[in-house]
Amino acid sequence: MAIYAISDLHLSFGNNKPMDIFGVNWENHYIKIAEDWKAKITNDDIVIMAGDFSWATYIEDTIEDFNYLNSLPGTKLILKGNHDYWWETVSKMKKFLEQHNYSNIDFIYNNCIEKDGWSICGTRGWAINDDPQYDNDKIFAREYLRLEYSLQQATTDNILVVLHYPPNNIIIEIMKKYKVKKCIYGHVHGNNEVFEKCLVGESEGIEYYLTACDYLNFKLIKII
């Protein structure tokens, strides 16, 4: 078994929201991802998706996006991103998976998934937002507690944390407290000037991976 990752697919098969408006590199990006995915992944492998899977607003509108994902090999673990408006309660999402026979997809949400000696934990995280409609302290406190609850469920010494937003100093401290070994995150898009500011590589005992698909040139990255 190997663990790979990619995030921010922003699929819109059921919605007319093409991603190439953000640059020519996004043209037919889902084809690039699928080709690389099929070349690398077997059904014994896991692919972690750190948020922003679909542009759909309601889960009923994600069917074509999930059909695309279901057609690809491996087990897929999905975390919530800031644009995943379709996200429901875990019970409703699992019922949706059962109804459509998506047997190789699961969710990282207030839980810990144990796979081949690794504990996969995580939560969306949060970024400071200047919009007054957001109570940043309240939202971040909730995300912090969700991460700690997830980490408390880990039963191995090999802990992998999945976030959508880049980790800030507070998140990094709790990961150090629980001796997390690897952390993947997404959310960040742009150019090399933007990407160079991101936390990538080893720092204080934790290996960090930015997995936004445009940063990865629409290719999955091997984590384990």
pLDDT in tens, 92-110: 999 999 999 999 999 999 8
Residues 6+ apart with CB under 8 A from 92: 59
Which pLDDT band, with edges at 50, 70 and 90, does 191 fall under? Answer: confident
DSSP state letter for 205:
T
Residue among 206, 196, 198 at smallest CA distance from 174: 206
- pLDDT(51) > 80: yes
Q: In whole angstroms, what separates CA 179 from the centre of its chain? A: 21
Distance CA 77, CA 59 (A): 17
Q: What is the mean pLDDT of residues 196-200?
A: 93
Which pLDDT band, with edges at 50, 70 and 90, does 71 fall under? Answer: very high
The token pair at 88 is: 């429901």
Other beta carbons within 10 angstroms of residue 142's beta carbon come to 14
The fraction of the chain above a pLDDT of 70, given in percent, is 94
Q: What is the mean pLDDT of residues 82-100?
A: 96
Residue among 185, 119, 114, 110 at smallest CA distance from 147: 110
The token pair at 163 is: 């976030």
- pLDDT(135) > 70: no
- pLDDT(130) > 70: no
Mean pLDDT of all residues belonging to the chain: 92
Q: What is the mean pLDDT of residues 157-171?
A: 95
pLDDT, residue 21, reads 54
Domains by residue range for the chain, with CATH: 3-222 (3.60.21.10)
pLDDT, residue 131, reads 46
Question: Which of 42-46, 117-121, 130-134, 173-177 shows the lowest mean pLDDT across its residues?
Answer: 130-134
Which pLDDT band, with edges at 50, 70 and 90, does 133 fall under? Answer: very low
pLDDT in tens, 4-48: 999 999 999 877 776 665 678 888 999 999 999 999 999 999 999
